[in-house]
Amino acid sequence: MIPESIGTRPVWAEVSLDSLAYNMEETRKIIPSSTMLMAAVKANGYGHGAEMCAKTFLESGADRLAVAMPDEGFQLRAMGIEAPILCLGYTPDYLYERAINKDISVTIYHESQVQGLAEAARATGNEAIFHAKIDTGMGRLGFQSSKESVEVIVRAAQTEGLFLEGVFTHFAVSDEADKGYSHDQFKKYMEVVEAVEEHVEIPIKHVNNSAGIIDLPEYSLDMARPGIILYGYYPSVHVDTSRIELRQAMTLNARISHLKHVPAGTGLSYGLTYKTERDSI
């Protein structure tokens, strides 16, 4: 049956909230009970609808939420979601005050961010909560694994108005069969963490993504960040699928507009780039 709300095009997606909840509950089963879960709902909940995904995950075992951009966090707050939210990506300095006022944690990965964030905290009269990201081999945002980076993170943590809530990194190839690179990334991460902890406390240490949660449970630490598995998909064919059963949450539907029979060798559409190999419908 075609929903009345689809508008003029007979194409629609159906999202099973039961499947979303099931995947969260199954994820919870394979991590230590002391490990928090930060559900990734970036990109409109991987296209499934951020609001209903966030609320379902929080009701099913998630402790926190992760977004990629600050506006995604602002939208969740406007939807009435009060759970802790971390923006994993870039937050422009002109949005620092808004992020602080909306109680959204920001990610820092360069010393140039520290002063602006501290000034925003003073301007709002509220504490700015931040997580420091370490680039251990992903090649994207993140402090380099160096003594200088440790000094910046410690200095930021000791800056008035700023609160270092966590330090994290992101695995690049944890979904591959060979975990050597991931082990090397974790080693680099822990070297930075241990150096920082000589000076300040790190309440939340987190590295594991979906593949890490499945294949590297020993790295779940204080918190893990499941993403694709919450929506019912394995990160790759190389992870140990026997560790967790998933249910695909979304189905895409369309009404067939035309059917016809054509003989073998019929070219289709512009350029006739595809030709049927047999009599086909």
Residues with active-site annotation: 42, 270
- In angstroms, the CA 78 to CA 109 distance is 27
- In angstroms, the CA 38 to CA 64 distance is 4
Q: Which residues contact 264 (CB under 8 A, 6 or more apart)?
A: 276, 277, 278, 279, 280
Buried b (16+ CB within 10 A) or exposed e, 140-175: ebbbebeeebbebbbebbebebbebbbbbbbbbbbb
| CA-closest candidate to residue 192, choices 218, 171, 166 | 166
| CA-closest candidate to residue 75, choices 108, 41, 48, 47 | 41
| CA-closest candidate to residue 89, choices 140, 159, 36 | 140
